[in-house]
Amino acid sequence: MSLQHEACYDGSNRNTMGRLMLLDLDRLCQGGKVMPGGNRDTHVAITFHNATKYAVVGDVANDDTLVWGAPPDPDSSGYTPDVALQPLPYKIYETLAPLPLPDASAPSALPGLEAIARTGAEPTGEAIPDRSTLARIARLSNGLLGRQANSWDGKTIEFRTVGSTGALYHLEVYFVCADLPDLDAGIYHYAAHDHSLRQLRAGDVRQVIVAASGGELALAEAPVILALTSTFWRNAWYYRSRAYRHTYWDAGTALSHVLAVAAARALPTRLVLGYADAAVNDLLGLNGVREATVALCAIGRTARPLPTAAMLPPVDHPTRPLSLHEVTFRVIPMMHQASALESGASSSAWRAAPLRRRSPEPQGPLTPLQPLPAEHLPATPIEDLILRRRSTRHYDRETPMSFAAFSTLLERSSRGVAADCLASDAPPLHDLYLIVHNVEGLAPGVYLHHPQRHAVEVLREGDFRAQAQRLTVGQEPPRDAHVNCYYLADLDPILECYGNRGYRLAQLGCSLSAGKLHLGTHAMGLGAVGSTALDDEVIAFFSPHAVGKSYMFVTVFGKRRSRPA
Ligand SMILES: Cc1cc2nc3c(=O)[nH]c(=O)nc-3n(C[C@H](O)[C@H](O)[C@H](O)COP(=O)(O)O)c2cc1C
């Protein structure tokens, strides 16, 4: 990948000498510290979002005409990935003994599309996972798939069961457990490279996380708390500061697997984003800058009382180095720190009044969706969907996709998830805009999904294949796929309600829906691939409807075609 560092796509970013004005990171970060401001001081999220925008200079959108940030982020603009520094995609504790896990991917009885649609709040009694359930959740959300390929830089990629931006696999899964039927209470890291657990701490210390969350009830009742972390450098090595967006894109994708696999085992789940970051990171032995917790998930339910945790000594088990050295892209720690919560009390205050935004009112004709009834859903279980899921880059663009498949996927991927900071009966924080190229019974064009009305609204008819390719930096799958799904959010009310942390939530919510949709396509004999896009051009394309919104995420799906010879 190469960049035109000198190029400026927007004249307003030039100073009087005609030189490119870069983002003044030193001023913003004040030597590493974020400028003061309360929870509702949201300039950091906006600065981060702008600093990680993709834009293109000129008529052709490709890697060579890409500009990083508006105004450009100096750390990213002046950087080229050094193949010699490519990070190891695994966290390997050098001194801890592995606890072997069963394979545990045998199919469950529930149709995969039903598991995907569950929110995690469906009523259950006591539900306590065992070691093989943890093995199943970990392998199917972050484990190895058993397939390899050669990457552009001559290395071997070991694919995982979940997609990941650039196949860079920067996420880690930890379990904080009570005593389970066949596993002692403790904190365990899931080691993807050898499909095992390693115990970081012994004993039931869930209370520390519950306190850090301000007493979140689902966490207090959960026999297992999953902590998902990112080691930012593992993605930033290639994607620079945009890696922090990818953190939440990939986390939402992985969590769509976690939630569906748990649902298929009748385990309740609740996503928790309100927690004191440092307290959780300290418990896991993370410094919170290089590797940090990005989401928690309560799994299962138990009536057994939560034991109090004694004062805990720090843990610092040695791990294998990832690279000869690591590069820091300053907007990442800036954004993560500015969106941190400090205490249990601030966490419960943070989630106390979730945003209830109003969905856009339809302004034009609605087409009601016609999803398959539950009894006609394909029976393929979630485990099979996950093991057969891949990123689909070749589409049979001439053959239309059925309206029933289109409707079923939109409907089943948009029912939301149970989360500490979201109102279960409120609309999602994002709007889903669609570019429809070839769906039976729908004129090609631009549509808006109205999940609460179970309908799509046509905004503009036309053939937009060329624009779809341009918007995604010249990539072919968005041109050829049957549907492009753009998740856009109005960041102002989100940040107003949730402060800078709302940015984490907004990104995560979009990729979670997209992750569900991606899994669902494989139940319908279709395929999908996540993508990336030119932020401001996306908004211009969907405007005037999308004025004021921000581009969050795009995924495309459709009928697969075998790879051309
Ligand atoms: C959030 C996200 C964004 C992605 N963006 C792109 C993209 O812009 N272009 C692309 O070709 N693939 C994209 N991918 C697909 C990854 O490259 C793919 O997941 C990875 O190479 C692993 O392959 P697999 O999904 O077939 O297992 C994306 C995947 C995810 C999860």
Half-sphere exposure of 225 (CA within 13 A, CB side): 33
pLDDT, residue 478, reads: 98
- Is the CB of residue 506 less than 8 Å from the CB of residue 429? yes
Give the percent of the chain with pLDDT over 90. 87
Q: Is the pLDDT of residue 518 over 70?
A: yes
- Tell me the average pLDDT of the chain: 92
235 lines ligand 1 (CB under 6 A): no
- Kindly report, residue by residue over 347-366, the tens digit of the pLDDT: 999 999 999 999 999 999 99
Pocket test for ligand 1, best of 168, 256, 531 (most atoms within 8 A of CB): 531
Measured in angstroms, how far is the CA atom of residue 197 from the centroid of ligand 1?
Answer: 27
pLDDT, residue 19, reads: 38
Pocket test for ligand 1, best of 62, 165, 518 (most atoms within 8 A of CB): 165
- Kindly report, residue by residue over 149-164, the tens digit of the pLDDT: 988 778 899 999 999 9
Pocket test for ligand 1, best of 164, 171, 238 (most atoms within 8 A of CB): 164
What one-character-per-residue DSSP string does 87-143 give? PPSS--BSSSPPEE--------SSBHHHHHH--S-S--S-B---HHHHHHHHHHHHS
Task: Give the pLDDT band (50/70/90) at residue 310.
Answer: confident
- CA trace torsion 35, 41, 44, 49 (10° rounding): -170
pLDDT, residue 8, reads: 26
Measured in angstroms, how far is the CA atom of residue 6 from the centroid of ligand 1?
Answer: 29
531 lines ligand 1 (CB under 6 A): yes
387 lines ligand 1 (CB under 6 A): no
In the chain, what's the furthest Cα-to-Cα distance?
Answer: 70
- Is the CB of residue 223 less than 8 Å from the CB of residue 178? yes
Distances in whole angstroms, Cα of residue 295 to Cα of each of 180, 230, 430: 22, 10, 19
Average pLDDT over residues 536-544: 98
Measured in angstroms, how far is the CA atom of residue 532 from the centroid of ligand 1?
Answer: 9
164 lines ligand 1 (CB under 6 A): yes
Give the percent of the chain with pLDDT over 70. 92
- Kindly report, residue by residue over 7-48, the tens digit of the pLDDT: 222 223 333 333 345 666 666 655 434 444 444 578 899 999
Task: Give the pLDDT band (50/70/90) at residue 560.
Answer: very high
- Give the nearest ligand 1 atom to 161 CA: 27
Task: Give the pLDDT band (50/70/90) at residue 105.
Answer: confident
- Kindly report, residue by residue over 178-220, the tens digit of the pLDDT: 999 999 999 999 999 999 999 999 999 999 999 999 999 999 9
Pocket test for ligand 1, best of 392, 518, 529, 538 (most atoms within 8 A of CB): 529
pLDDT, residue 151, reads: 83
Task: Give the pLDDT band (50/70/90) at residue 295.
Answer: very high
Task: Give the pLDDT band (50/70/90) at residue 104.
Answer: confident
Task: Give the pLDDT band (50/70/90) at residue 378.
Answer: very high
pLDDT, residue 4, reads: 25
- Give the nearest ligand 1 atom to 252 CA: 1
Half-sphere exposure of 10 (CA within 13 A, CB side): 16
pLDDT, residue 155, reads: 85
Measured in angstroms, how far is the CA atom of residue 528 from the centroid of ligand 1?
Answer: 10
480 phi and psi angles, rounded to 5 deg = -95, -25
Q: Is the pLDDT of residue 565 over 80?
A: no
159 lines ligand 1 (CB under 6 A): yes
Pocket test for ligand 1, best of 62, 228, 244, 391 (most atoms within 8 A of CB): 391
* Ligand 1, atom 20, residue with closest C-alpha: 167
167 lines ligand 1 (CB under 6 A): yes
- Kindly report, residue by residue over 473-514, the tens digit of the pLDDT: 999 999 999 999 999 999 999 999 999 999 999 999 999 999
529 lines ligand 1 (CB under 6 A): yes
- Is the CB of residue 81 less than 8 Å from the CB of residue 1? yes
Q: Is the pLDDT of residue 6 over 70?
A: no
Measured in angstroms, how far is the CA atom of residue 303 from the centroid of ligand 1?
Answer: 41
pLDDT, residue 153, reads: 78
Measured in angstroms, how far is the CA atom of residue 165 from the centroid of ligand 1?
Answer: 5
Measured in angstroms, how far is the CA atom of residue 556 from the centroid of ligand 1?
Answer: 11
**Cα(436)–Cα(455) distance, rounded to whole angstroms?**
14
Number of other CB atoms surrounding residue 425 within 10 Å: 8
- Is the CB of residue 275 less than 8 Å from the CB of residue 505? no
Average pLDDT over residues 85-94: 97
* Ligand 1, atom 3, residue with closest C-alpha: 530
pLDDT, residue 34, reads: 41
- Kindly report, residue by residue over 67-88, the tens digit of the pLDDT: 999 888 999 998 999 999 999 9
Distances in whole angstroms, Cα of residue 305 to Cα of each of 220, 509, 552: 9, 31, 40
Measured in angstroms, how far is the CA atom of residue 166 from the centroid of ligand 1?
Answer: 6
- Is the CB of residue 7 less than 8 Å from the CB of residue 54? no
Measured in angstroms, how far is the CA atom of residue 407 from the centroid of ligand 1?
Answer: 24
